[in-house]
Amino acid sequence: WKKHIQLIEGSFSDSSLLTGIYHMICVINCLCFSSEVLEAIENVIQGVIQSLAQKKAPVLTVANRTDWRNIEFKDSVGLQMIPRCTTKQIRSDCPQSAKRFALMLKILSMIYKMVQSNTYATKRDIYYSDTLLFGSQSVVDQIINDISCMLKIPRRSLHVLSTTKGFVAGNLSYTEEDGTKVNCTCSATAVTVPSNVQGIKNLTSHAKFILIVEKDATFQRLLDDDFFNKVSPCIMITGRGIPDLNTRLLVRKLWDSFQIPVFTLMDADPHGVEIMCVYKYGSVSMSFEAHHLTVPSIKWLGLLPSDLKRLNICKDALIPFTKQDENKLASIQKRPYIACQPLWKKELEIMAASKLKAEIQVLTSLSSDYLSRVYLPNKLQFGGWL
Please list the active-site residues: 128
Q: Which amino acid is at 72?
A: E
15 to each of 106, 133, 279, how far by Cα in Å?
12, 11, 42
What is the Cα–Cα distance from 265 to 301, expressed in whole angstroms? Answer: 6
Euclidean distance between the first and final Cα of the chain, in Å?
61
Q: Which amino acid is at 256?
A: D
Sheet (strand 181-183) strand order: 181-183, 173-175, 201-204
What is the Cα–Cα distance from 344 to 333, expressed in whole angstroms? Answer: 10
